[in-house]
A = this chain, B = another copy of it.
Amino acid sequence: MAVPARGDHDARRRDVSQAVWEVLAAGGFGGLTLRAVAARMGASTGLLTHYFPSKKALMRYALEVAHEHTQVLDRFPAEGEGLPGLRAALLDVMPLTPEGAARNRVWVSFWDAALGDDELAAAELRRYERWRGMLRPHVDAALRRGQLPADADPDDVVATAAGFGHGLVVQALFDPARFPPQRQVKLVDDFVALLAR
């Protein structure tokens, strides 16, 4: 048997990544199994065990795939520094589109897996740190520019904004009729205005 050309290898890797993402988007981390990924690819479970010798290896890989798919794309350009930047960063994570909803479903589903596993819980802790780290420069800029009360604690403002954002994500995922995109945007706008008051 010929050694696969380099291009074949990369193509197969893209196939695996795509199948893992589709399984995650369809059923979350709770529905992630070698069998489901193999079925998506039209491949055998045996082939998949070549890539992922254990469920844990598959989970680790899926975490990377989910991370790639949730890189912030700067979809909401901020109209200014400080609070406008915070507003844009919050809107970036909201389930305003079907793709945004799929991304959020995947992450919310990851919390169950992560709460039961020390390694995954540590990964989730770091993910939160990263997200708060993305909000932080906007809060610092808002303080510098006098857009927030001078005695506001930036760590607390960031934790409150991160909490508000994720809590709104969860409500919107379960009740899209009551939380259509325009209401999500209004709630984010009102929240940012509240911080500034």
Contacts and interface: CB of A to CB of B under 8 A. Distances in A.
Interface in A114-143: 114-116, 121, 124-125, 128-129
Interface string A148-169: 0000000010011011111110
Nearest to A157: B190
Given A128-B175, A156-B186, A167-B167, A108 B105 contact: no
A112 interface: yes
Contact of A125 (B156, B175, B186): B175
Contacts of A160: 164, 168, 187, 190-191, 194
Q: Say what secondary structure dominates the interface of chain A.
A: helix
Of the candidates A156, A160, A162, A190, the one having the most CB atoms from chain B within 10 angstroms of its own CB is A160
20 contacts: A28-B112, A29-B112, A30-B30, A30-B112, A31-B116, A109-B115, A110-B112, A111-B111, A112-B113, A128-B171, A128-B175, A156-B186, A160-B164, A160-B168, A160-B190, A163-B168, A163-B170, A163-B187, A166-B170, A167-B168
